[in-house]
Chains A and B, each alone.
Chain A
Amino acid sequence: MPGNGRYGDLAAFLSERGDALLRTAVLLAPGRESGEDLLQEALERMLRKWPRVQGDPEGYLRRIMYHRAVDGWRQRSRRPEVLGLPQDAAVFTAADHSDRLDLRLVLIEALAGLTPRQRAAVVARHWEQLSEAETAAALGCSVSAVKAATSRGLRTLREAMAPEAEYLPYLTERGNA
């Protein structure tokens, strides 16, 4: 549908940058399906203004995702969540990918233990590699708030993931080397 029509430019853009956007959404949401929901909602919001969107659609999408992740998107958790995971199930059957899936599950669970703002700050700083000032602009808060949220978020992540370290080689020093 979008390939050649009104949204052809957007389809082309997503074919190039969609994976990266979804990875950010998966970390922000957090979760694979939640991430798809978040990105889909951001896309839907952008489509409303698509004819007027000028410049960088990626920046526009990312701003929506961060704002929704911090402010309003969590309200959706009151609705029935669909948890079917065909992609994860497929990965699970491939033995050489199971560690990565385990790692993702542990990371997602640990990220879920953060406040939305802490999660967004950690993702912006350590996944997107944004500066503190850029993160503050993306989240609509002060630099000091970003510092505090990042510090607390990292501490919580570290504590949450420690018990899983023995099962996940990626979490050890050796695995990170």
Chain B
Amino acid sequence: MTIFSEGPRDQEPAPGISSIMAQAVADVRLPASLLDQAVTRNRRRAMRNRLIGATSTAAVMAAAAALAFTLPGGATGGGTGTSTAHQGQPAPTVQTAAYVLAHASAAQVNSRTMISVTRDAGGTLYTDVATQQQRYIAGIRASTGQPYFEWSDIIKGGTWTETMVVNQGRVYSVQTARGSEVGSISTVLPLQAQSNPVAAFTTALRQGMVTVAGHQQLGGRDTIALRITRQATQCKKPGHPAIAKANCSDGKPASTQPPPDDEVWIDASTYLVVQTRTYKISPKAVKGSWLSFTTTVNWLPPTPANLATLSITPPSGYTKIPPAEMVKYLGPIS
């Protein structure tokens, strides 16, 4: 499998890339409004220039403001169309929907250098993608008050190691794998559990799957709510890995109804995810109904102390058992 040929002497046209370019832009059509927009902008520029010659600076600023383009959408709308920042004016500070999404995208990509702490009804998951470590602490308690069970995964030197401790039974197991079974540790946050989260988020943005719902107070915190639309047809043609394949069965949607939008709340200052709500098909409830799962998210810097909490050392006195026997000790929660 080759991407495209290089061509003789590296300077001749490479037929592959020409073909790829042609395929990629084949359906691009010039919007009918593009010339209108250019003409309008040119007229406004000309008018601004005339004003500069005839009035004081203060008057020019006022006139420029009056002539300024209206930014499409506010933080509560879906920004569409082409960039409207106009020449000679400072960058608008208004948070357009696109501005929010662009910063949210960058924040999620950057967040992969931090430790995510996600909490839901089941327990707490610590994930550090950079060092490929993950630890889960169950929310349910053992009779001793300790977590019923916990486990840690680490991938290092091509070896995956999972240590699982069941405090209720005072047992632990260690499981390892090498080679093709190893895989990788990724976050469970929306659009991040992909081999290429940057491409995943970019794809979702460009496909209009992510929209800004607006500002919301969440526990006294100013957040911005995003909605991530999933589509029922994704099962049949998953295409790019950025496209989620959840809620599918045998390659077909498990429900004839499209799932509710996933919801993501991002901090209004840092744009990091602080809460998510996803939906999965309910196997037992009324056909077509959806169960919601809410997860809160915190972020920790990857300090040595924080990274140390990602690994588990089985307490002394615990019995080491084969991984296959662990199910007996997990009992009702297995």
Q: Is B233 engaged at the interface, CB distance under 8 Å to the other chain?
A: yes
1/0 contact trace for A16-49 toward B, CB 8 Å?
0011011100110000111111011101100110
Q: Is B240 engaged at the interface, CB distance under 8 Å to the other chain?
A: yes
B39, B209, B237 interface centre (most CB from chain A within 10 Å): B39
Q: Is A127 engaged at the interface, CB distance under 8 Å to the other chain?
A: yes
B1-54 interface (Cβ within 8 A of A): 1-4, 6, 10-11, 13-31, 34-42, 45
Contacts of B207 in A (CB 8 A): 85, 88-89, 92, 101
CA A97 – CA B231 in complex, angstroms?
Answer: 15
B6, B19, B208 interface centre (most CB from chain A within 10 Å): B208
Q: Count B-side interface residues using an 8 Å CB cutoff.
A: 75
Binds A, one of B71-79, B149-157, B265-273: B71-79
A88, A102, A161 interface centre (most CB from chain B within 10 Å): A102
Total A-B residue pairs with C-beta atoms closer than 8 Å? Answer: 219
Contacts of A48 in B (CB 8 A): 42, 45
A80 touches B241 (CB 8 A): no
State the Cβ distance, A148 to closest chain B Cβ, in Å: 10
B25 touches A1 (CB 8 A): no
Contact status of A88 and B1, CB under 8 A, knowing A126-B18, A126-B21, A167-B241 = no
Contact status of A80 and B205, CB under 8 A, knowing A36-B31, A107-B21, A127-B18 = no
Contacts of A97 in B (CB 8 A): 27
B13, B23, B37, B231 interface centre (most CB from chain A within 10 Å): B23
Please pick, from A84, A92, A151, the residue contacting B11 in the complex, using a CB distance under 8 A: A151
B96-121 interface (Cβ within 8 A of A): 96-99, 101-102
Q: Is A145 engaged at the interface, CB distance under 8 Å to the other chain?
A: no
Q: Is A79 engaged at the interface, CB distance under 8 Å to the other chain?
A: yes
B240 touches A89 (CB 8 A): no
State the Cβ distance, A159 to closest chain B Cβ, in Å: 9
State the Cβ distance, B64 to closest chain A Cβ, in Å: 16
Chain A interface, >50% SS class: helix
CA A105 – CA B237 in complex, angstroms?
Answer: 17
CA A82 – CA B91 in complex, angstroms?
Answer: 13
CA A105 – CA B204 in complex, angstroms?
Answer: 10
CA A103 – CA B16 in complex, angstroms?
Answer: 13
Contacts of B37 in A (CB 8 A): 40
Name the CB-closest residue of B to A40: B38
Q: Is A51 engaged at the interface, CB distance under 8 Å to the other chain?
A: no
B85 touches A76 (CB 8 A): yes
Q: Is A154 engaged at the interface, CB distance under 8 Å to the other chain?
A: yes
A1 touches B39 (CB 8 A): yes
State the Cβ distance, B16 to closest chain A Cβ, in Å: 5
Contacts of A136 in B (CB 8 A): none
Contacts of A98 in B (CB 8 A): 237, 239
B91 touches A107 (CB 8 A): no
Q: Is A56 engaged at the interface, CB distance under 8 Å to the other chain?
A: no
CA A125 – CA B14 in complex, angstroms?
Answer: 9
State the Cβ distance, A61 to closest chain B Cβ, in Å: 11
A176 touches B4 (CB 8 A): yes
A51-107 interface (Cβ within 8 A of B): 76, 78-86, 88-89, 91-93, 95, 97-107
State the Cβ distance, B19 to closest chain A Cβ, in Å: 5
CA A167 – CA B203 in complex, angstroms?
Answer: 14
Contacts of A95 in B (CB 8 A): 233, 236-237
Q: Is B84 engaged at the interface, CB distance under 8 Å to the other chain?
A: yes
Q: Is B249 engaged at the interface, CB distance under 8 Å to the other chain?
A: no
Contacts of A40 in B (CB 8 A): 34, 37-38, 41, 82
For this complex, 12 residue pairs linking A to B, each with C-beta atoms less than 8 Å apart, are A2-B35, A19-B28, A22-B30, A37-B82, A40-B37, A43-B34, A80-B94, A104-B25, A127-B18, A158-B4, A173-B1, A176-B20
Task: Give 10 closest A-B pairs by Cβ, nearest first.
Answer: A84-B80, A89-B208, A18-B30, A43-B38, A80-B99, A83-B98, A23-B25, A104-B24, A79-B85, A82-B98
Residues on B close to A: CB < 8 A?
Answer: 1-4, 6, 10-11, 13-31, 34-42, 45, 71-73, 78-85, 91-92, 94-99, 101-102, 195-196, 198-199, 202-203, 205-209, 231, 233, 236-237, 239-241
